[in-house]
Amino acid sequence: MNRFIAMAVAVPLFVVGMAASMDTPPRVVTISAKRFEFTPNQITLKRGEPVTLRVSAEDRDHGFYQKDLKIDLDLTPDHASEVTITPDKSGRYVVICDHFCGSGHGNMKMVINVE
């Protein structure tokens, strides 16, 4: 009988908790791109936590590419691009601009750390 009462209380609480977590939108991280840098140049994300990266170009077309995290955005100055990811492995991931944007293009990188 006590088990039945415990289950009758625990199951609804679990379901309510699950529903609340499903309704919570992912955290948004805003990143800007301009010749020849991303700002911020480093962010830290939590493994298993969904996050939306909102990336905008300030001056010209840029790219925002990271193969292992499956990020591939084309950036234009007229609007922000978004991608929602849920990193599943800890590590250090380097994002590059994959659209030639001038002489400093090869050094246009940022780091995503996943803990």
Residue 23: per-residue pLDDT: 80
What are the structural domains of the chain? 26-114 (2.60.40.420)
Q: CA Rg, the chain, in Å?
A: 20
> How far are the Cα atoms of 3, 12, 26, 88, 92 from residue 52, in angstroms, in the given order?
41, 30, 6, 15, 18
Per-residue pLDDT tens for 11-57? 554 544 555 556 889 999 999 999 999 999 999 999 999 999 999 99
Q: How many CB atoms lie within 10 A of CB 55?
A: 22
When pLDDT is cut at 50, 70 and 90, the band that residue 4 belongs to is low
CA distance 96 to 94: 7
- Does the N-terminal peptide bond of residue 14 adopt cis geometry, omega within 30 degrees of 0? no
- 51/54 Cα distance (integer angstroms): 10
